[in-house]
Chains A and B, each alone.
Chain A
Amino acid sequence: MEKENQLLEDITNAEYEFGFVTDIPMDIIPAGLNEDTVRFISKKKNEPEWLLEWRLKGYKIFKDAPMPSWQNFDLPPMNFQSVSYYAEPKVKKKLNSLDEVDPELLETFAKLGIPLNEQKHLAGVAVDAVFDSVSIATTYKTKLKELGIIFCSFGEAVQEHPDLVKKYLGTVVPHSDNIFASLNTAVFSDGSFVYIPKGVRCPMELSTYFRINAENTGQFERTLIIADEGSYVSYLEGCTAPKRDENQLHAAVVELIAMEGAEIKYSTVQNWYPGDKDGIGGIYNFVTKRGICKGKNSRISWTQVETGSSITWKYPSVILQGDNSEGEFYSVAVTKNAQIADTGTKMMHLGKNTRSRIISKGISAGKSQNSYRGLVFVGPKADNARNFTQCDSLLLGSNCGAHTFPYIEVKNDTAMVEHEATASKIGEDQVFYLNQRGIDSENAVALIVNGYVKEVLNQLPMEFAVEAQKLLSLTLEGSVG
């Protein structure tokens, strides 16, 4: 509660907090996308031939792929040729330690509350930071190495562990999955790579912070996490971007692979710049996230707190292939002003006795539109599959929209699929009750909203839960009245 109060006290400014720009010399390639761009990126990153081939396959699909048309909003026109597909901070040589990182960059991350130095050690979090296209620093590599854990930038993984990358890359989200995934395949610049060996329980939270800084660039990172038999890992991702009037595209791909008895927990706090109150600017967040429970008794859990971006389009999903495997999706999506969120999940039950649980909490304010879209699929061999879905919508004000699109496809008659949905408005009665106990309306709404999303925030590691709470309060500041 102390923390909660502190957070509420911090609510002083409804403005986007992370909208500053870091002035740092950058190498940016000219806008535009063709085969040469793809070759340039691959060469710049000193990639093996097979990876270039794979990128080019992605590019070929992308060129002719249709834009998705089923989402619950009008897709704005996107000119893929006006974007620069590669930006990196200018550095003369390869960095060997954090001491060699540009102080201005370190300051940027400090401003974002991400100290990359050893302080983080106390919190037990290892951090990889991605600034525009390039991974800047990965802390605690040595300590993790002792356990055989690999946690590094994607680019580094390609150089150091090419066999692992080659074996798993694109196995969960193929290069042809959808236009944004194909685009990512062609031009992905960096991202994070994690491998947890058999039987190892990763002793700290692994964390990546993504930051879009440069103008007219997109960010196309790729994350690949492999948890080998009987291992466990909890992974966190956070994102921010400067305020700009143009829209910037973020099209990431995340692939998770859990072997027999392994567990992966993946948490996201997404706070990309949402645009101004009239909907000018902001990040287009078109992300493909999917995990596969490959082995028996494996488990994948997605938790997301989505507060930023002018458009969010993402459906973190789980393929439940191994028998007795479990998939979870916990989501809080907050939209205000002119923001659009179309988000949800897919749970694909293929193995026997597979279970999934979906808890989605949407909060809409202003004139925003917030949609939950989910698919629960039970295949013919998935005996005794179980799903529970609960999706709640909370409306602040009367100009916003909340929508729910649950799809259920069951091909096995032993399946049990439950769906619960509620929609409510914050009651004047609730606010008045809290007023009558001395709590003003702004704080009353923050309390009610935090109560509403508690079930999801409880899934986040402590440190992140606090950050998420703070974000929610900030996001909803000024939405009541």
Chain B
Amino acid sequence: MLTIKDLHAQVDGKEILKGINLQVNAGEVHAIMGPNGSGKSSLASVLAGRENYEVTNGEVVFEGKDLLEMAPEIRAREGVFLAFQYPIEIPGVSNINFLRTALNEIRTYKNLPPLDARSFMKLSKERQDLVEFDAKLVNRSLNEGFSGGEKKRNEIFQLAMLEPKLSILDETDSGLDIDALRIVANGVNKLRSKDNAFVMITHYQRLLDYIVPDFVHVLYNGRIIKSGTKELALELEEKGYDWVKEAYYEETV
């Protein structure tokens, strides 16, 4: 589904990603871990097409198409979803109207007719239940005055509504208490299928207890320096990142 080859990117002239290689297939869940400042969120931003990131080298192919050529909204319509680390507040724009606009943009792109009000409300109700999203929040202004946890849960609700092929969860677990974490994880687990894929960016093993990944990658200093299965995450939790870094430097020296 997603192939990243030798991806280099910079912000304000400073190189942040220094040659990322990653293959994500349909049906897979990947976890990307790593210490602060290693480039995890930058990778998410580059994939979503944030403007201030400049790709200097490499390629990203999504479903056979050059992702880097596409405007951010086209990437979204093609099926790339980013659950933001810090979801944005938009006063006066109701959550549900925003979602309906988004969903219909995506449907129009796929040559599907826009969803009528009734079917849309039905879908919304169904997905609210699925991800245990508070009905009260649906009609409020988009993220305005939401708690940190409510914002993160709203990201998962949007994910459930828009049904992307590839979902990138940027530290969705940060700032969640244990109950909220469980609800978010349950939601993601219910949305997993053989046709979609998830890339979860996280600091902590904790999330991976609830959403079990197929692969775990360690990102450090702009490169993936180690990949493995879910056991790697446990090992990281136990030993920290230093041993991976050391092993990596020994290899490269």
**A residues within 8 Å of B by Cβ?**
1-2, 4-5, 8, 427-430, 432-441, 443, 447-448, 450-455
- Within 91-108 of B, Cβ neighbours of A (below 8 Å) are at 91-93, 96-106
Q: Which residue of chain A has the shortest Cβ distance to B83 in the bound complex?
A: A436
Contact of B106 among A438, A443, A455 (CB under 8 A): A438
Quick check: which of B68-76, B227-235, B243-251 contacts chain A, the rest being far away? B68-76
A427 touches B77 (CB 8 A): no
Q: List 18 A-B contacts (CB under 8 A).
A: A1-B97, A1-B101, A4-B97, A5-B104, A432-B51, A433-B90, A435-B71, A436-B49, A436-B73, A436-B75, A438-B76, A438-B77, A439-B73, A439-B101, A439-B102, A443-B101, A447-B98, A451-B141
With the chains together, A8 CA to B162 CA distance in Å? 20
Q: What is the distance, in angstroms, from A13's C-beta to the closest C-beta of chain B?
A: 20
B112 at the A interface (CB under 8 A): no
Q: In the bound complex, how far is the Cα of B93 from the Cα of A351, in angstroms? A: 38
Kindly report which residue of chain A lies nearest to residue B79, judged by CB atoms.
Answer: A438
Min CB–CB distance B99 → chain A (angstroms): 8
Bound complex: CA A428 to CA B72 (Å): 13
Complex interface residues of chain B between 9 and 38 (CB less than 8 A to chain A):
none
Is B93's CB under 8 angstroms from A447's CB? yes
Chain A residue at smallest Cβ distance from B158: A437
Specify which chain B residues have a CB less than 8 angstroms from the CB of A5 in the assembled complex.
Answer: 100-101, 104, 114
The residues of A that contact B76 with a CB separation of less than 8 Å are 435-438
B117 in contact (CB, < 8 A): yes
Contact string against A for B residues 163-193, beta-carbon threshold 8 Å, 1 for contact and 0 otherwise: 0000000000000000000000000000000
Q: Which of B48, B73, B98, B162 is within 8 Å of A440, CB to CB?
A: B73
Nearest CB in chain A to that of B143: its residue: A433
User: B174 CB to closest chain A CB, in angstroms?
Assistant: 18
What residues of chain B lie closer than 8 Å to A450, measured between beta carbons?
92-93
The residues of B that contact A430 with a CB separation of less than 8 Å are 88, 90
* Cα(A401)–Cα(B81), bound, Å: 36
The verdict on B84 contacting chain A, using a C-beta distance below 8 Å, is yes
Tell me which residues across on chain A come within 8 A of B103, comparing CB atoms: 438
Chain A residues contacting B106 (CB-CB under 8 Å) are: 438
Given the complex, which residues of B lie within 8 Å of A447, measured CB to CB? 90, 93, 98, 101
Assuming A1-B100, A1-B101, A428-B51, is B72 touching A435 (CB within 8 A)? yes
CB distance from B63 to the nearest CB of A (A): 16
Minimum C-beta distance from A23 to chain B (A) = 40
Alpha-carbon distance A451/B143, docked complex (angstroms): 13
The residue on B at minimum CB distance from A428 is: B51
- On chain B, the residues within 8 Å of A451 by CB distance are 90-93, 141-142
Contact B93 A448 (CB under 8 A): yes
Q: With contacts A2-B117, A428-B51, A440-B73 known, is A433 near B87, CB below 8 A?
A: yes
Chain A residue nearest to B75 in the complex (CB) = A436
- A294–B100 Cα distance when bound, in Å, is 47
Q: Is the CB of B84 within 8 A of A438?
A: no
What chain B residues lie within 8 Å of A434 (beta carbons)? 90, 98, 102
| A437 and B93 form a contact (CB under 8 A) | no
Which residues of B lie under 8 Å from residue A427 when comparing CB positions? 88
Cβ contacts under 8 Å, A443 to chain B? 101, 105
A452 cross-chain contacts in B, Cβ below 8 A = 91-92
Contact: B101 with A455, CB < 8 Å? no
| Chain A residues, Cβ within 8 Å of B77 | 438
In the assembled complex, B50 has its CB within 8 A of some CB on chain A: yes
Which one of B101, B141, B142, B162 has the highest number of Cβ atoms from chain A below 10 Å of its Cβ?
A: B101
Which residues, 105 to 123 on B, are CB-close (under 8 Å) to A? 105-106, 109, 114, 117
Q: Other CB < 8 Å A-B pairs besides A433-B84, A436-B81, A450-B92, 16 of them?
A: A5-B101, A5-B114, A8-B101, A427-B88, A429-B88, A430-B90, A436-B72, A436-B75, A437-B158, A438-B102, A438-B105, A439-B73, A440-B73, A443-B101, A452-B92, A454-B92
The 8 closest A-B pairs by CB, nearest first: A451-B92, A451-B93, A435-B72, A437-B102, A454-B92, A438-B76, A433-B88, A438-B105
Which of B72, B76, B87, B99 neighbours the largest number of chain A CB atoms within 10 Å of its CB? B72
Report the Cα distance A435→B162, complex, angstroms. 13
User: A429: nearest residue on chain B (CB-CB)?
Assistant: B88
Measured CA separation A429–B102 after assembly (Å): 17
**Does B82 sit at the interface, judged by CB under 8 A?**
yes
- In the assembled complex, the Cα of A213 lies from the Cα of B129 at a distance in Å of 57
Contact A448 B51 (CB under 8 A): no
Contact of A437 among B50, B92, B97, B98 (CB under 8 A): B98
Nearest CB of B to A392, in Å:
10
In the complex the two chains form, is B92's CB within 8 Å of A453's CB? yes
Which residue of B is nearest A433, CB measured? B88
List the A residue with the shortest CB-CB distance to B104: A5
B48: chain A residues within 8 A (beta carbon)? 432, 436
Q: Which residues of A contact B98 (CB under 8 A)?
A: 434, 437, 447
CA distance A383 to B105 in the complex (A): 55
- Nearest neighbor of A435 in chain B, beta-carbon distance: B72
Task: Give B123 Cβ to nearest chain A Cβ, in Å.
Answer: 14
